[in-house]
Amino acid sequence: MNKEILKSIAEQMMQKPKGLLAMDESSPTCAKRFAALNIPETEENRIKYRQLIVTTPNLSDYISGAILFDETFHQKMSTGVLFRDHLKEVGILPGIKVDAGAKDFSEHPNEKITEGLDGLRERLVKYESLGAKFCKWRAVITIGKDIPSISCIRSNCNALARYASLCQENNLVPIVEPEVLINGDHSIETCDKVTRETLKCLFDELMSINIYYPGVILKPSMVISGDKNSKRANYETVAEMTVNCLKDMCPKDLGGIAFLSGGQSNDEATNHLRIMNSGDFGLPWRVTFSYARAIQQSALNKWSGKDENHDEAQAILSERAKNCSDASVGN
C-alpha cells in the first residue's frame, strides 16, 4: 500500500465541483432498462449508449471519475479506442465495479449477501495494471419485518472490509457502498437507525484490518423515508438527518462521501445534496454524488436507441451532470 498514491487518487475523485458517474450496470440490468424502452438488447447498442455518455461534451467539467462494468472496461468504442483510455484522455478517472452481485443470503429470508471475493486479489492486480484507479463494491441492506438481521449486516460489512483491504494493497481506492434500500413503507427514523447500525459495523470492520481512511470513499444511501411511506420526510429533514448520521458515525479523516441516488427522483437526489452542501453543517469531508439513474435515465429515455436523438440526449445528460455538480457545492 502506498498511502500517498491512495490519498492523491481520492482527492482527485473528490475535487470540487465534481462527482462520480456510476455507469456500471451489469448486462442483465442494462437489458431491463433497454427493454422498458423497446431498445434491442445487443452489444452494439450497449456500446452506442455508453459511447453517448462518455463523449458528452464537457462531461469532465462535472465528473471526476466513472465506475465501469467489466464489459465496458475491456470494450472498445466505435473509433477503436478503449472506453477506459478515452476517459483518461478527457480527464476522467476510470474505475471498476468488482463485486459479483447481491445473492440470496442462506437461511435469511429476504436478505442479500454480496459475492465476489474469490479470485479478487488477482483481478485487482490486472485491473490496476490496465489503468484502473479505484473500485466499487455494493452491499444491500433491506428494511422489513424483523430485518435487517445483525448477521446480514455483519457479513456484508466484513466482505466490504476484506474487499477494501485488497484494493488498498494494490493502490486502488475502494468505494465502499453499504446501501440501505429505499424500498418499503418504513419511516425515516427507522432508516436512520438501520443506517447507523450498518455504518458502525462497517467502520468497526475497516478499523480492525487497518484500512487507511483517507484512501477510502464511502458511497452511502441517504437517511430517507421508504418509497411507499405515505408521509415521507421533506428535503430539509432528509438532508439534516443524513448529515447528522454521517457526522456521528464516520471518521473525520475519511477520503470523502459520494451518495448513491438509490431510487430517488432526479429532483430529490439533487435537492437533498444541494441542501447538505448549502447549509451550515460543518462537514469534515467533501460530500458529493455517485449517481447512475439520476444522471443518465432522462438521457436514455430521449435516446431510446435512435441515432437521430443522439445530440439531444447528450444535452440532457450534460444538464443533469451540471445540476448535480452545482448541488455538490450548494448551488
Residue 251 has a pLDDT of 98
Q: Cα–Cα distance between 175 and 134 in angstroms, integer?
A: 7
Residue 28 has a pLDDT of 86
Judge whether 177 counts as a catalytic residue: yes
Bridge-based pairing state of the strands 63-68 and 19-23? parallel
Residue 280 has a pLDDT of 86
CB atoms near residue 39 (< 10 Å): 20
23, 296 Cβ separation under 8 angstroms? yes
Residue 181 has a pLDDT of 97
The catalytic residue among 112, 133, 136, 219 is 219
Q: Is 67 left (phi over 0), alpha (psi -120 to 50) or beta?
A: beta
Q: Which of 213, 305, 210, 281 is nearest to 250 (CA)?
A: 213
Classify domain 3-327 by CATH number.
3.20.20.70
User: pTM for the complete prediction?
Assistant: 0.96
Residues of the chain with pLDDT under 50: none
Q: Cα–Cα distance between 261 and 268 in angstroms, integer?
A: 9
Residue 67 has a pLDDT of 98
- Give me the half-sphere count of Cα atoms (radius 13 Å) on the Cβ side of residue 214: 12
Q: Is 18 helix (H, G, I), strand (E, B) or coil?
A: coil
Exposure pattern of 216-227 as b/e (b: 16+ CB <10 Å)?
A: bbbbbbbbbbbb
Cα 184 → chain centroid:
21
DSSP 8-state code for residue 147: B
The catalytic residue among 25, 111, 177, 268 is 177
Residue ranges per structural domain of the chain: 3-327
